[in-house]
Amino acid sequence: MDCGKTEEAEEVRELPMPPLIQLADVTKVYHLESGDFTALNHVSLDIRENEFVAIMGPSGSGKSTLMNQVGILDVPTSGELFIDGENVATMTSLERTHMRRDVIGYIFQKFYLIPLLSAYENVEYPLILKYKKRDETGKAAAVLKSVGFDEQMSAHRPNQLSGGQQQRVAIARALVNDPKILLCDEPTGNLDRKTGFQIMDILTGLHKEGKTVILVTHDPKIAEYAHRTIELDDGKVVES
Amino acid sequence: MRDIFFDLSVRSVRLNFLRSILASIGIVIGVVAISSMGMLGTNMQLSVKSQLSSNVNTIIITSDVVRTTSTAGTPITSEGIDKSTLNDIKSAAGQNDIVPIHRTNTQFTIGSTDGRGSIYGLDPNDIPKFLTIDQGTNIKGGTDALVGPNIAANFNMNIGSRIKIGQDNVSITRPTVRVVGILAARGFASDGVNTDNAIIVPDTWYTDHYGDKDIYDQVNVILQNIDTINQTEAAIDDKVNRRTNIVRISDASSRLSSISSTLGTITTFILAIGSISLVVAAVSIFNVMMMSVKERVQEIGILLSIGTEKGEVRRMFLYEAFILGIIGAVVGGICSFVIGYSVVSAMIGNTSYFFLPDSLIYIPYGMIIGIVVCVVSGLYPAWKASNMDPIDALRSE
């Protein structure tokens, strides 16, 4: 399978590659009681495969809204958004759910592990969603190991793990279905500095393996890991 | 392989153990109410039916002429069923047992106490065909008599007691019979032979003292097979009432069916009362499920954002309702068995029908209804959970 993939990639490389994520004049307006609030204002943006992008900006600048759009948790009010060549607006709710499961891996600031499942089960969960059966291939355990998670802790529930351990489990969960895109929303925000850099090392390694990493952060030190920084202010891209 | 959504539901129930158990108790009560009430109703029906249907296999044939009462020594002038009509009945009834019955009311005296009651004249050979002798023996001699249990108790009669039959009159010496047996209680007998307050004498003694030889007040046909009742009645009617209506032919089946349908209505009514408790249980399950959804908003947000289908989230909450239903139904089923038995025993006093399938079937019925009510109560909370906006759900704390 891997051989086939490489050949395919080489063929494609000769043609101009379409962006993996493309926002064309995307606007997102929230209708609030106090009036309409424009969170994204005519944003156009291309992110190509295997880019490592940091999104920065002050609070309320639209970073989270942009992440929700790219993570297809939400749809634009106007404009077009293409993920992996698909127009999000024309997809059904179920198709969007499947794309979230198969194409995108989410890493959150608060880890957001499922509290009722063990560390191992949290990683196994997306595989069950995709294949509708328990993982018998050992993939969940292998991915968990690859992010440096202590195997002996895999039966522990999230509330029995440290922040760094939880974030490793969350990264393993995001990776297990082999997504093209990793969306990281302040992944080091709840961690101490040392653990934060360890997590960033893991993300850097994943980028080297071919993942497209999109990172939202306040921290310029963390943003330095990225190869490109997109600055948002007041719902607009001010620097890309 | 266990479904991970089922596992999640089991863990959620375990995590909120007390709350889940309290909600299930509602279902337990509902299941017990439905099952016990159903079993009570069925046992009542079966018990009453069996009392009535013990002589429902009997065709009652009476003269179409209304008879008058008479006392000993006074001949009866009105028409009864005569010998030739009896022979017609016998030939029409085939292999079935024919019981010709003499009957009138009489005064009698036991010791110095006067009383009044029915007196039946029967061939002693016919008596065991439909009557049960509780104490003593059947009639052997010409002046032997059997008495019903009520008359025996009211007048302190024992085996060997002597009864003077007829109105106390100085100028006449009254005939005497000797009690040789006391009958078992029959209650209200649908074959028209109400012996609880009666004296049974041999047909020869009866005709010697009341006349009426070969004239009968009633003829009962005891069927060997209840299913032949209609054709036998038709055969007798054809044979005997060919030109004019000589006899009236009846049976207890129509009365039995009307009583059965009344009892069925009563059973439905008490079942409906039992169902009210299940409605209350449904509200409590609904409440618990809504609380479960509210408490797990963020978890639902996580599930939806990482690619869980809406149907899978729905399934998870329906499983939870189903588990509560199963717990309630199983505990309720066991309790129904114990409580149902106690209720039937206390209210009907007869548990011989309790273990019949018709009665016990109410336990699985109650359990299934309990589970269905639970799952239905979980539908809206499950739908609400699956339709949450993942962004809002993730943000909630």
The minimal CB distance from A97 to the residues B1, B298, B309 is found for: B309
- Domain holding A207, by residue range, is 49-74+97-239
The predicted structure's pLDDT at residue A55: 95
Are B306 and A100 an interchain contact pair (Cβ–Cβ within 8 Å)? yes
Per-residue pLDDT at B229 exceeds 90: no
Mean pLDDT of chain A: 90
Instruction: From A83, A89, A95, A116, select the one nearest B310 (Cα to Cα).
Output: A95
Sign of CA dihedral A116, A121, A127, A128: negative
The minimal CB distance from B390 to the residues A73, A94, A115 is found for: A73
The predicted structure's pLDDT at residue B375: 95
A149, A169 in Cβ contact below 8 A?
yes
The distance of B332 to chain A (nearest Cα, Å) reads 29
d(CA A240, CA A55): 9
Per-residue pLDDT at A233 exceeds 50: yes
pTM of the complete model: 0.72
Q: What SS3 state is found at A128?
A: helix
Are A112 and B303 an interchain contact pair (Cβ–Cβ within 8 Å)? no
The predicted structure's pLDDT at residue B74: 52
Per-residue pLDDT at B67 exceeds 50: no
Task: Report the alpha-carbon angle B301-B307-B313, nearest 5.
Answer: 60
Per-residue pLDDT at B281 exceeds 50: yes
pLDDT digits (tens, 9 = 90+) for A193-206: 999 999 999 999 99
List of chain A residues whose C-beta atoms are within 8 Å of the C-beta of residue B298: 112
In a domain, A196, yes or no: yes
Instruction: Tell me which DSSP letter residue B217 carries.
Output: S
Residues B238 and B211 in one domain: yes
The predicted structure's pLDDT at residue B65: 59
Residues B76 and B217 in one domain: yes
In a domain, A128, yes or no: yes
Domain tally for chain B? Answer: 2
Are A97 and B307 an interchain contact pair (Cβ–Cβ within 8 Å)? yes
In a domain, A5, yes or no: no
Residues B214 and B278 in one domain: no
Q: Give counts: helices (H), strands (E), chain A.
A: 8, 10
Mean pLDDT of chain B: 87
In a domain, A174, yes or no: yes
Per-residue pLDDT at B112 exceeds 60: yes
The interface predicted TM-score (ipTM) is 0.89
**For range B141-169, the mean pLDDT:** 89
Interface test with B, best of A97, A99, A127 (most B CBs within 10 A): A97
- Domain holding B123, by residue range, is 58-251
Residues B138 and B241 in one domain: yes
How many CB atoms within 10 Å of residue A136? 9
**For range B57-67, the mean pLDDT:** 74
On whether any CB of chain B is under 8 Å from the CB of A112, the answer is yes
B221, B251, B281: which is the final residue of a domain?
B251
Comparing A1 with B120, the larger pLDDT belongs to: B120
Write out the two tokens for B25.
């108790």
Are B309 and A112 an interchain contact pair (Cβ–Cβ within 8 Å)? no
On whether any CB of chain B is under 8 Å from the CB of A134, the answer is yes
In percent, the amount of chain A with pLDDT more than 70 equals 93
pLDDT digits (tens, 9 = 90+) for A72-111: 999 999 999 999 999 999 999 999 999 999 999 999 999 9
The distance of A15 to chain B (nearest Cα, Å) reads 32
The predicted structure's pLDDT at residue A203: 93
The distance of A113 to chain B (nearest Cα, Å) reads 7
d(CA B147, CA B74): 23
Residues B348 and B390 in one domain: yes
List of chain A residues whose C-beta atoms are within 8 Å of the C-beta of residue B2: 134
Are B4 and A125 an interchain contact pair (Cβ–Cβ within 8 Å)? yes
List of chain A residues whose C-beta atoms are within 8 Å of the C-beta of residue B1: 133-134
- Residue B43, amino acid: N
The predicted structure's pLDDT at residue B278: 86
Residues B96 and B212 in one domain: yes
Nearest CA in chain A to B3: A133
pLDDT digits (tens, 9 = 90+) for A201-223: 999 999 999 999 999 998 899 99
> Which CATH number does the domain housing residue A129 bear?
3.40.50.300
Domain tally for chain A? Answer: 1
pLDDT digits (tens, 9 = 90+) for A40-76: 999 999 999 999 999 999 988 999 899 999 999 999 9
pLDDT digits (tens, 9 = 90+) for B288-339: 899 989 999 999 999 999 999 999 999 999 999 999 999 999 999 999 999 9
Residues B219 and B103 in one domain: yes
The predicted structure's pLDDT at residue B71: 55
**For range B9-16, the mean pLDDT:** 90
Residues B126 and B153 in one domain: yes
The predicted structure's pLDDT at residue B72: 56
The predicted structure's pLDDT at residue B236: 87
Instruction: Tell me which DSSP letter residue A227 carries.
Output: S
pLDDT digits (tens, 9 = 90+) for A6-38: 455 455 455 567 899 999 999 999 998 999 999
The predicted structure's pLDDT at residue A1: 41
Are B308 and A97 an interchain contact pair (Cβ–Cβ within 8 Å)? yes
Nearest CA in chain B to A183: B306
The minimal CB distance from B391 to the residues A68, A98, A128 is found for: A68
Per-residue pLDDT at B56 exceeds 60: yes
Are A125 and B306 an interchain contact pair (Cβ–Cβ within 8 Å)? yes
On whether any CB of chain A is under 8 Å from the CB of B298, the answer is yes
B234, B251, B268: which is the final residue of a domain?
B251
The distance of Cα B291 from the centroid of its chain, to the nearest Å, equals 46
B230, B251, B272: which is the final residue of a domain?
B251
Comparing A11 with B178, the larger pLDDT belongs to: B178
Are B8 and A114 an interchain contact pair (Cβ–Cβ within 8 Å)? yes
Please report which confidence band the pLDDT of residue B249 belongs to, taking 50, 70 and 90 as the band edges. confident
Are B302 and A121 an interchain contact pair (Cβ–Cβ within 8 Å)? no
Please report which confidence band the pLDDT of residue B78 belongs to, taking 50, 70 and 90 as the band edges. low
Pairing of strands B144-147, B176-183: parallel
Counting one residue from A and one from B, how many pairs have CB atoms under 8 Å apart? 62
Are A112 and B394 an interchain contact pair (Cβ–Cβ within 8 Å)? yes
Residues B246 and B186 in one domain: yes
Residues B127 and B263 in one domain: no
Please report which confidence band the pLDDT of residue B227 belongs to, taking 50, 70 and 90 as the band edges. confident
pLDDT digits (tens, 9 = 90+) for B328-359: 999 999 999 999 999 999 988 888 889 999 89
pLDDT digits (tens, 9 = 90+) for B41-50: 889 888 887 7
